[in-house]
Structure 1
């Protein structure tokens, strides 16, 4: 007969209990040791400069201020990104040795001359035919090709009901703002460029479809070869396109416009007609469209920025694009950092104006350009658009647009130029600085993507301007916005942004 528990002697019971306690204690000690040696003690670091050219990490001494500073919050969030990237083993052990693949032809600075319509280069059309049929904003049906256009009589069309379009592609992701440079590249140069984007983990590219270039020769002549080449190459490499439909040809501008290459159209309906043709031609290749660029400043075509005029342009263009492709996603032109002075309109005033002038149902997202250089994004200054993102979000929510996001379609900082350089130092500000050091650019990238990561619920893709330096001449800071130098070697910010891309690509 097997003895029951009650048959054991008191001594045996105590011995049994002691063994259980010993084994339990041993297990706790083993688990504690594993946790300690796996994760260790967490040490926090601050990003600080020892001089103008060097960037070092040093132990941070926390001040007991009672609340976490914006900079501390950014640093904390950035370290979370790096730790997650390392644990998922997505980041390569040595990123600095991984430069974009090159061919015998490397991207060069944009040529000044554009090929004519008689070019013999064969470029596949985004559609199955070299001609397309589109409904214009006024209801006309237009057949277009590389040689001209034939318009038929107007046909009645029903108005488009306003709906909030949901993007079907990743919204929290890294993009590159390339602007007009891509349409000047050869096919070989584009292959090199897009392979470089893919190597860096970039999933979006923002580029111009310039009405002034497509119809430069007149209202009945179209030159599609350059944008066709870019659209097809982006799709080939699996990179999502955000096409900027912008600027007007000279024949469609106000004759008093000073900066003729970026002037606004006299007739908003004519611009909408072109946008309809674009949306039709690239249906299935490009589905995301940004309408104009930095229209709140005089520099980009609106010689006298006017919210009401832009709202009307946006409304007719949105309707035309949605009629051509109901699944298209349309965002406002990126609003530049500015105050309400010197002919500029601040982002907050501009966004409020869109609702005031009835454009609420004419965009699927709002675009913002939160430039801060030569300051870091954590500095509290009037024109720091990072500080205004929350305010713009509040305006959208107050107007019933909580389902829409804010896309950050340009941000960056140049690392060269003709004037002064500066580092990021919270206690000083060098007025007149034209550019920042490469180390400072990297810190700005780290702080920026950390701030972005804390607000992903209502932010769209983050586009860095730009990918590769345009050249080496120090006559203009515009040559040095890249995270790759002109010789394709990597700046420190390249590594930071690649880690950022890996963080979202593996979620």
Structure 2
């Protein structure tokens, strides 16, 4: 899933047409429940022959005007310089199990963004995920445009929310296959950007997700996914963020669930195992929490990976369910990482009747509402204490139309100035936290 898309891609901003060549993986919980029983088998749909994965989206495409509002010209500022200061002891990296988040789109219009942070707050959720395109903040080496991020920091602070930002989309000067989203030619350039960002927003931005879905070639500069390269990139970003803000939480990129294993994609479980090997079997110095993506596809949230694999109606593979996260958790435990938490950075169900890559696993809006509440309940009952943040997709971008895949994942209907909640938003707002 894409977090600024499902594209879904959130993620938090979490669209182009989906890649049918990868069709069947994507996107783009807090009352106790008893252990689930196998779900009755529904009628078998006709899924595509390969895994769907969300399409990439420019981080800040040109937007039509919602209403006339004054625009202040952004000014580029020079990069901050590291200073030799003593570092405070890092705060605990563990969150309550779980904590509740939504992906929103705070970049474009102040009037929309200031409304949507209140929408998240009013639902009783404590986190927002927001995508930050490196190319939009540092268009030239060492020259930064902070206008939008300063506004976001202000709105988040006013509502006393936590923010996790996803960092990707390198600028043209950094190379890496621009305009395709890809790692820079020199990882130190990303490190410098991370240092500048974490320095400016120290104590205000709580967590950083480093890249998005690097197990897809289209998110890795059009090149085959390479866990060793991503490990090297992650290590640089981790070190520079911690130099600037030791209390910031660094989260590994959410991986798209997929069974495709070729030059275009690598299965998420295979990628994660190879990532641990590239890190020497230990994530220390690489990440504080593991990022994961957990779309539910056609299955209710209690369906296990084994059930999904055994039931063609659910897609017939282990990754076609919300509980796929348990397979990734098992890899963490295998490498001795049981003490670190998993953050779900994209989760949801689609009601899409339009796009074939999604419509085979579409649910109704009422089912979406029910499944999301049950997913949070299941996680709280069965995944504590290792589950941390659970961030769903999306508070809708007001510019989305029914032709956009992510329109159908959202828990609100696009619109401004009025908020148009779908059943899922109302159910989540009423859900005990």
1:457 aligns with 2:390: no
Q: Is the 8 A contact 1:333 1:367 kept in 2?
A: yes
Matches within 5 A, 1:194-209: 194-209=117-132
1:369 match: secondary structure: strand
Give the TM-score of the pair, scaled to structure 1.
0.63
Q: Distance in 1 between matches of 2:233 and 2:159?
A: 33
Q: Is the 8 A contact 1:172 1:460 kept in 2?
A: yes
Matches within 5 A, 1:424-463: 433=360, 435-453=362-380, 454-463=382-391
Q: CA deviation at 1:286?
A: 0.9
Residue 177 of structure 1 corresponds to which residue in structure 2? 103
2:368 match: secondary structure: helix
Q: CA deviation at 1:301?
A: 3.6
Larger Rg: 1
The superposition leaves residues 395-416 of structure 1 with CA deviations (integer Å, 9 ceiling, x where unpaired) of 2222221110111110123334
Matches within 5 A, 1:56-67: none
How many correspondences in the alignment?
Answer: 355
Structure 1, unmatched stretches of 5+, are 1-66, 73-108, 124-145, 421-429
Residue 89 of structure 1 corresponds to which residue in structure 2? none
Taking structure 1 as reference, are residues 229 and 253 closer, same or farther at Cα in structure 2, changes over 3 Å only? Answer: same
The superposition leaves residues 315-361 of structure 1 with CA deviations (integer Å, 9 ceiling, x where unpaired) of 11111111111111111011111124242122211221222112611
**Pairwise CA RMSD of aligned residues?**
3.2
Q: Give the one of 245, 248, 268 matched to 2:170.
A: 248
Q: Distance in 2 between matches of 1:373 and 1:298?
A: 22
1:290 aligns with 2:209: yes
Taking structure 1 as reference, are residues 385 and 265 closer, same or farther at Cα in structure 2, changes over 3 Å only? Answer: farther
Q: CA deviation at 1:288?
A: 1.1
1:229 aligns with 2:159: no
Q: Distance in 2 between matches of 1:385 and 1:351?
A: 18
Q: CA deviation at 1:177?
A: 1.7
The superposition leaves residues 42-65 of structure 1 with CA deviations (integer Å, 9 ceiling, x where unpaired) of xxxxxxxxxxxxxxxxxxxxxxxx
Q: CA deviation at 1:290?
A: 0.9
Taking structure 1 as reference, are residues 471 and 330 closer, same or farther at Cα in structure 2, changes over 3 Å only? Answer: same
Residue 187 of structure 2 corresponds to which residue in structure 1? 268
Matches within 5 A, 1:496-507: 496-500=427-431, 503-504=432-433
1:317 aligns with 2:243: no
Residue 249 of structure 2 corresponds to which residue in structure 1? 329
Greater RCO, CA 8 A, separation 6+ = 2
Residue 135 of structure 2 corresponds to which residue in structure 1? 212
Residue 408 of structure 2 corresponds to which residue in structure 1? 480
Residue 339 of structure 1 corresponds to which residue in structure 2? 259
Structure 2, unmatched stretches of 5+, are 1-34, 41-59, 309-316
Matches within 5 A, 1:301-316: 301-303=220-222, 304-316=224-236
Residue 388 of structure 1 corresponds to which residue in structure 2? 324
1:462 match: secondary structure: strand
Q: CA deviation at 1:372?
A: 2.7
Q: Distance in 2 between matches of 1:150 and 1:225?
A: 15
Taking structure 1 as reference, are residues 410 and 315 closer, same or farther at Cα in structure 2, changes over 3 Å only? Answer: same
Taking structure 1 as reference, are residues 151 and 287 closer, same or farther at Cα in structure 2, changes over 3 Å only? Answer: closer
Residue 405 of structure 1 corresponds to which residue in structure 2? 341
Q: Distance in 2 between matches of 1:470 and 1:415?
A: 18
Q: Distance in 2 between matches of 1:120 and 1:495?
A: 34
1:166 aligns with 2:102: no
Q: CA deviation at 1:302?
A: 4.3
Q: Is the 8 A contact 2:79 2:144 kept in 1?
A: no
Residue 370 of structure 1 corresponds to which residue in structure 2? 294
Residue 272 of structure 2 corresponds to which residue in structure 1? 351
Q: Give the one of 495, 498, 503 matched to 2:426.
A: 495
Q: Is the 8 A contact 1:470 1:479 kept in 2?
A: no
Taking structure 1 as reference, are residues 299 and 447 closer, same or farther at Cα in structure 2, changes over 3 Å only? Answer: farther
Q: Distance in 2 between matches of 1:443 and 1:471?
A: 26
Give the TM-score of the pair, scaled to structure 2.
0.73
Q: Distance in 2 between matches of 1:278 and 1:206?
A: 16
Q: Distance in 2 between matches of 1:417 and 1:184?
A: 28
Residue 424 of structure 1 corresponds to which residue in structure 2? none
1:182 match: secondary structure: coil
Q: CA deviation at 1:176?
A: 0.3
1:238 match: secondary structure: coil
Q: Is the 8 A contact 1:318 1:330 kept in 2?
A: yes
The superposition leaves residues 117-161 of structure 1 with CA deviations (integer Å, 9 ceiling, x where unpaired) of xx96399xxxxxxxxxxxxxxxxxxxxxx4342687x98999x9x
Q: Is the 8 A contact 2:216 2:265 kept in 1?
A: yes
Q: Is the 8 A contact 1:331 1:363 kept in 2?
A: yes
The superposition leaves residues 429-476 of structure 1 with CA deviations (integer Å, 9 ceiling, x where unpaired) of x98537432123123213322321221211011111002364563222
Taking structure 1 as reference, are residues 477 and 412 closer, same or farther at Cα in structure 2, changes over 3 Å only? Answer: same
Q: Distance in 2 between matches of 1:313 and 1:414?
A: 32
The superposition leaves residues 159-205 of structure 1 with CA deviations (integer Å, 9 ceiling, x where unpaired) of x9xx9962376452210022xx311121x222211111111111100
